[in-house]
Structure 1
Amino acid sequence: MKAMRPLLLAIIAVVLAAIGWLTTVLTTRYSMATPVLPPSALITMGFIAVLTLIMGIRVLRWRNGKKKTMLNPILAARTLILAQACAYAGAVLLGWHVGIVIEQLRLWSFRSDQGILWLALIMGGGGLIMAIVGLVVERFCRIPPEDLEGGPGVRDPRRGEAKGEGEYAYRGD
């Protein structure tokens, strides 16, 4: 599985900011409700971020050798997938709500109720936190290159040389 690229997450956020801005312009023009998530979504976003972080810490503790029992590989794979999903969802939520904030700032002086702007700012912050947690937990799930082949200094019986000396995770044998 390939590692996520922060640049891709930034591109997703920018594209969704443009879509969120355009949607907000259209809903304002036709006197419809602003398309912002309700405050109860913060609870869900927080729960997902905390769950991802807890699962990531379990994988990190095992990777650093603090656990004596073997880690279930399915749990590790699910943690990685959850971390990536959390980062992508966070980028989408961040971008969408940044687009709403941009449009609402334009209307700041015309509105008597500023609640939508503050709610969109808080939701965008929640999306940013989700993206950061996803990226951090994905880093927790990485195995150091020396662990891929049994560690440095381990003798390779086929070659009679120590593994890890000048070798990388990919060998072109």
Structure 2
Amino acid sequence: MRFLLELNQNKAYGQIPIIGPSGKIEYIIKGNLDNPNHTLYLSRTDHTEIGRLFADSSGIISSFIVDVVNHSLVRVKKFNTPMTNLFYVTRLNYLVTGSIKKGTYTFRAGVKNVANVKTIMGNSGVVLVCDIQRPEDIPFILLISILFTQWHVTPLKLPTFPPISRKTSPDIN
């Protein structure tokens, strides 16, 4: 199944539509991409939350957590070795190989490819092309791909979601 995530500056609504294999918007990623410490939310078009990605600051080495509905927490960890650029996804036991910096990488379970992600330049910005083999992996691959992209692409300036109302003000005078 192929999913397209178009990351551009054309519309700043605080969300990124994800186009599914049918050619229609199937999912939406909400949140701020300008800082890896912010939470990203993956939801259906009816705004039902499927999962979220956030930083785990409990340890010395920073890792990220993917929390998908009806699934245990999954961590994304980086192997810090000068010879390799490998990431490991716990619970799913996936290794992420390839070049995240160049935008082409593969999620592997042993020798089997689970998903391939390719970053291309579209007409209005960067497009992530995610080819995912199994439906149960969709939320994990989409959220982790956005995480990797924000590390190596100029950050998008999206508004805080939901917008803060002007009626409430911290000024007590």
Structure 1-normalised TM-score?
0.25
Normalized per residue, the structure richer in strand is 2
Whichever structure has more helix as a proportion of its residues is: 1
- Tell me which structure has the larger Cα radius of gyration: 1
